Amino acid sequence: MKQTDFIAELEFLTTEQGGRNNPAHSGYRPHIEFDNYPDYLTSGQQTYIGQKTVELGTKVKAEIAIIGTEYFSKRLYKNMEFKFCEGSRTIGFGKIIEIINADLKCEDDIDQKTINLNLYPTDIKNRLKSDYRKNYGEAIWCIQKALISNKDFRSNRILRALIYTGNKDIVHLKKMIELARTDWRDLLLNAEYEHPNKRVRNFDNEFGKENIKASR
């Protein structure tokens, strides 16, 4: 069995609440959707602590081993909530009470709104979706990794500049991410200036409102 990633408190719904028809047994592996990460489902094997079976409508503590750990690197935290499902049907809800896999633990006291792309302004998410279409998932993944690994990316202005300079091309977007890793000021120069001394866009503003009106 895969090594335990975290310990959680689980609450199973009753059949009447839309849950399973039968009790769950240790080794059960439903899908997991973490709070504020609806874009990525993983599966989590449940090993119940102190018992082999859990009755519907009750709570239990369990060791959880997930797949896709790379995606959740530095993103999980104590008291983080999730739901577990069979297909589209929610079976129950959980809350992390201890993280065992240190690679998954996010920085202490970090604001989740700064590292989770899903919590950034709607205009950023909509522009990503419209610009990158079939590469939308890969674009999110690349930017999300940048947010986790480098504090310089954690601003609305930098993300809008990245998306704009990516020019709807996933390969070019990756090049712009590397440019920003080297010096984020070079990224802003590319995104906001026509000439070294002429600023024509301000990506502190939402997409559609970024153009700076020329003064008379």
* pLDDT tens profile 185-216: 999 999 999 987 899 999 999 999 999 986 54
Residue 4 has pLDDT above 90, yes or no: yes
Alpha carbons 43 and 48: distance in angstroms, whole number? 16
What six digits make up the tokens of 36? Answer: 């504020």
Helix (H, G, I), strand (E, B) or coil at 62: strand
Which residues fall within 8 angstroms of residue 20, CB to CB, at 6 or more apart?
12, 13, 56, 86, 91
Query: What does the mean pLDDT of the chain come to?
Result: 93
| pLDDT for residue 177 | 97
By CB neighbour count within 10 A (0-12 exposed, 13-18 middle, 19+ buried), where does 180 fall?
Answer: buried
Q: For 28-57, write each residue's pLDDT tens digit.
A: 999 999 988 887 889 999 999 999 999 999
What six digits make up the tokens of 185? Answer: 């000021």
Beta strand residue intervals within the chain, DSSP E: 6-12, 24-25, 31-34, 42-48, 53-54, 59-66, 81-86, 89-99, 193-195, 198-199
**Which candidate, 72, 69, 67, places its Cα nearest to that of 1?**
67
Q: For 60-97, write each residue's pLDDT tens digit.
A: 999 999 988 888 889 999 999 999 999 889 999 999 99
pTM for the model stands at 0.82
Residue 176 CB: number of other CB atoms within 10 A? 22
| pLDDT for residue 1 | 52
**Which candidate, 39, 28, 137, 37, places its Cα nearest to that of 85?**
28
Alpha carbons 28 and 6: distance in angstroms, whole number? 15
**Which candidate, 202, 197, 199, 148, places its Cα nearest to that of 177?**
148
The structure tokens 């992390």 sit at 96
Q: What percent of the chain stands above pLDDT 70?
A: 98
What six digits make up the tokens of 56? Answer: 């519907």
pLDDT bucket at 130, cuts 50 / 70 / 90? very high
Alpha carbons 85 and 94: distance in angstroms, whole number? 11
- Chain length of the chain: 216
